[in-house]
Amino acid sequence: MYVSYHQDDWNIWLPLAEFSYNNAEHESTKQSPFFTIYGKNTNFDSIHISQDTPAGKLLTKLQSVQQVVKKELESAIRKFENYEDRKRKIQPDFQPWDKVWLA
């Protein structure tokens, strides 16, 4: 997660976080929201700009931010799965004609 002690540049990073979120594969659909809407995924890695230009420096920064956001999303998914797994109970294996108590 990106945190700045100045906390005055969130307007720069929020669209990037949204971009990363919309291009990440979601558990429920097994595809990114961008793919769901447009039928294709964006490919940030295919952009080739000289690293000496201001745009190149921005691209490098954007790629690093995107990697951080991707790691954070993966971490959040693992935490959610662990939380949900703790609530799950093993279901009894009932067979036809088994006697059961009804509450």
pLDDT the model gives residue 97: 92
pLDDT at 22 over 80: yes
Mean pLDDT across the chain: 79
pLDDT the model gives residue 14: 81
pLDDT the model gives residue 96: 92
- In this structure, of 16-25, 29-38, 43-52, 56-65, the range with the lowest mean pLDDT score is 43-52
C-alpha 86/C-alpha 79 separation (Å) is 11
C-alpha 41/C-alpha 60 separation (Å) is 20
Q: Note the residue count of the chain.
A: 103
pTM of structure: 0.40
pLDDT at 92 over 60: yes
pLDDT the model gives residue 102: 87
The answer to whether the beta carbons of residues 59 and 48 sit under 8 Å apart is: no
C-alpha 98/C-alpha 88 separation (Å) is 23
